[in-house]
Amino acid sequence: MPIADEDLFTFRDDVRPSDVVAVMELVAETGFFSAAEVAVAGELLEDRLTRGPASDYRFVLADRGGRLAGYCCFGPIPLTQSSFDLYWIVVRPGTQRSGLGRRLLAMAETAARDLGATAMYVDTSSRAQYTPTRAFYERSGYRTAADFPDFYAPGDGKIVFVKRLSS
């Protein structure tokens, strides 16, 4: 059931077939992600649509004015007891700095906690382009857990953040 708020965002956790294209367009619009990454974002929604609750991917989507304004995707990390990954969090460029990202993250953390999560992990790039992204996670209570230089490509390392989720 959608929950409306004073900012005119409507939040939902149900994935609709039209979300596949909407998410791919949103991810591409940011200019941060490659064509392969855009395709993966769509594939995760397709997995949820195909497998329903059996899918390991969970979503929080925010609509504004009939258009997708942002979303996040998270889920349990295979072979762990209570660790979750935040796979994606994306906010439409014109909506960034509105607090929507913080709200999506908080909703994902709450939902993960309700599913038994004790920690949320986030992987991101070490490239300069991602400096604001890393600062966002740090402001949200995440701490660097690992740093893998040249992971994605020479000069493009992977930084893993973690936040312990209290009950």
> Could you read off the pLDDT of 113-140 as tens digits, one per residue?
999 999 999 999 999 999 999 999 999 9
Query: Residue 57: which of 68, 72, 69 has the closest Cα?
Result: 72
Pick the CATH number of 3-164 from 3.40.50.150, 3.40.50.2300, 3.40.630.30, 3.60.15.10: 3.40.630.30
Q: Distance from CA of residue 73 to its chain's centroid?
A: 4
pLDDT over threshold 70, residue 156: yes
Listed by start position, the domains of the chain span 3-164
pLDDT over threshold 60, residue 2: no
| Distance from C-alpha of 97 to C-alpha of 70, rounded to nearest angstrom | 12
Residue 7's pLDDT is 59
Mean pLDDT of 162-167: 88
**Stated pTM of the model:** 0.91
β partners of residue 143: 162
Residue 167's pLDDT is 61
Provide the Cα torsion 41, 165, 121, 16; round to 10°.
-10
